[in-house]
Amino acid sequence: MLRTHTCGELRIENKDSEVVLCGWVQRVRDKGSMVWVDLRDRYGITQLMFEPNDNQALAETIRSVGREFVLKATGKVIERVSKNDKIGTGDIEILVTEVEILNPAKLPPFLIEDETDGGDELRMKYRYLDLRRNVVRQNLELRHRVAIEARNYLDKQRFIEVETPVLIKSTPEGARDFVVPSRMNPGEFYALPQSPQTFKQLLMVSGFDRYYQIVKCFRDEDLRADRQPEFTQIDCEMSFVTQEDILNTFEGLVRHLFKVVKQIDLPTLTRMTYADAMTYYGNDKPDIRFEMKFVELNELTQGKGFVVFDSAPLVVGINATGCASYTRKQIDELTEWVKRPQIGAKGLVYIKAEEDGTFKSSVDKFYTQQDLQAIGNKFNAKAGDLILILSGETNKVRKQLSELRLEMGTRLGLRDKDKFSAHWVVDFPLLEFNEEENRWFAMHHPFTSPKPEDIVHLDAGNLGEVRANAYDMVINGVEVGGGSIRIHDRVLQAKMFGILGFSDEEAKHQFGFLMDAFEYGAPPHGGLAFGFDRLCSLFGGSDSIRDFIAFPKNNSGRDVMIDAPSTIDQKQLKELSIAVSKS
């Protein structure tokens, strides 16, 4: 090694040792007779001290360095006069006798500090410099830690990591595939996997019993802040299990990760049905760090002459505890907030529970104090509370009120990112009807098993009634993982493909290998996948998965640092038997 120690490890016990350190110049302070340099590496910062008057060559060298120069410094560990208790090496400094510039550095385009002056685009272009910042590097260190702890936990539970192929077959169901032209098979294409779903099921058919993989997956979708064209899953599958076994196994994994990575004892995960999640939170991934449950008010609001409520399939509200003091202006602002196109509510009705025991509302002319009291009772409203009510078409109004609930949670400081509330949502519907395409889609994917007791509904054609053995793990309102018990029977699988609009031929062409496999002794099996990027960002207390990916792409799917994608040679295109088309 060019160094004897890292910049993070020297202590007062090392006093008088001769050491060699390598690292980057964080800052230089030149006081004339003394020059100090903070030398930084991944492990920390150590202060170097130079006495330029004693050594002309040393003086010249050190006075030529700037921020981010790479140095190799040789010297003796001495005790600092003014100690710095903020850093581990703060009791010592190095009296440098020899210094070598290993590489000079141009002035970085932004500050390499926790608080930087660089904008997003600039930091993406110079990602290798952004990664030097402690906060960014620590995110990736956390990611490494989560991965290695997840692997060791699963290994102890006898899961085997098996690598499944990246060059697979395109299937039109689901999201858009990235494809790869095959040179050796002209006119044919591989696809990059959206998940290793069929392969992990085949591994169960193979008797692997317990499989996992931390694996890159790919979706060619339009991007948002929390989506990347390539992302990573902790993908898992088990044989001879019921849903209960899977919930317990992976609850165990997540609690282990919280324990070892965050030193947090996560309580046992509660469970909530999909139906309840929608009824009480208007959301299949409710944030239950705070209550503020939905209360349905149709019965209490009906027939009092308020046409808006009378004509609404759903009248539903939440209790913003302690917000009765909101001014007219604040309530108007909230009303505008829910009326924004992103939310889309028509209006907002409020009821304030005043300190004197009376109620004040925006619909006073339709509802008596007694009516309002009855509504207040349903919310257990106390003096000082503010009830916020929306109405309209059931699914839409639930979505709107869910947004309002989250917003109020944020405004009231109820969504502390250092507090973690994890739970399962279970009993998802198997299918959902898409009005635009006028057909049923699998809510999870086509391999998800209906609950055995709901197969009667499937057979009777009551497709909306069929629940699946499907489950999501939700932490702080983020879906961190989800999965299901799978179909392991060829006939049922074929029926599912039929319901989803596949012809027999299409099903055979795309998934024939899986249905064939089911005929050679497929065990009952199920599993789940965690969104690894999202799990890491949650652990790190960030909303953005990009902060936890070393080299992320921007919203146009570009890596602006390496400038990819890019055009390729005509020769390359010709070898691949493809051409770029105009339209």
Contacts to a copy of itself from residues 450-489, by CB under 8 A: 488-489
Give the burial class of 47: count Cβ atoms within 10 A of its Cβ; 0-12 exposed, 13-18 middle, 19 or more buried: buried
How many residues belong to the site for a copy of itself (CB under 8 A)? 127
Instruction: State the minimum distance, in angstroms, from the CB of residue 559 to a copy of itself.
Output: 7
By the 8 A CB rule, do 499 and 461 touch? Answer: no
Positions in 64-123 near a copy of itself (CB under 8 A)? 68-70, 72, 102-106, 108
Find how far residue 551's CA is from the centre of its chain. 16
CB atoms within 10 A of CB 37: 26
Told to check if 495 binds a copy of itself by CB under 8 A, we report no
Instruction: State the minimum distance, in angstroms, from the CB of residue 194 to a copy of itself.
Output: 13
Which amino acid is residue 483, in one-letter code? G
Q: Can you tell me which of 30, 209, 226, 310 binds a copy of itself, judged by CB under 8 A?
A: 209
Q: Read off the tokens for 469.
A: 């053995």
Give the helix/strand (H/E) hosting 258.
helix 243-262
Q: How many residues does the chain have?
A: 583
Instruction: State the minimum distance, in angstroms, from the CB of residue 526 to a copy of itself.
Output: 11
Positions in 528-567 near a copy of itself (CB under 8 A)? 549-551, 553, 556-559, 561-567
Instruction: State the minimum distance, in angstroms, from the CB of residue 265 to a copy of itself.
Output: 24
CB atoms within 10 A of CB 541: 15
The beta-strand segments (E) located in 56-91 are 70-79
Told to check if 503 binds a copy of itself by CB under 8 A, we report no
Q: Can you tell me which of 74, 110, 113, 181 binds a copy of itself, judged by CB under 8 A?
A: 181
Q: Which is nearer to a copy of itself, 285 or 553 (CB)?
A: 553
Instruction: State the minimum distance, in angstroms, from the CB of residue 103 to a copy of itself.
Output: 5
Distance separating the N- and C-terminal Cα atoms of the chain: 56
Q: Which is nearer to a copy of itself, 34 or 562 (CB)?
A: 562
DSSP for 130-191, please give it. Answer: HTTSHHHHHHHHHHHHHHHHHHHHHHHTT-EE-PPPSSB---SSSSPPPEEE-SSSTT-EEE
Give the helix/strand (H/E) hosting 407.
helix 394-411
Instruction: State the minimum distance, in angstroms, from the CB of residue 243 to a copy of itself.
Output: 12
Positions in 113-142 near a copy of itself (CB under 8 A)? 126-129, 131-132, 137, 140-141
Q: Can you tell me which of 89, 198, 391, 421 binds a copy of itself, judged by CB under 8 A?
A: 198
Q: Read off the tokens for 167.
A: 């060059």
Told to check if 307 binds a copy of itself by CB under 8 A, we report no
DSSP state of 194: S
Instruction: State the minimum distance, in angstroms, from the CB of residue 164 to a copy of itself.
Output: 6
Find how far residue 478's CA is from the centre of its chain. 7
Positions in 233-252 near a copy of itself (CB under 8 A)? 239-242, 245
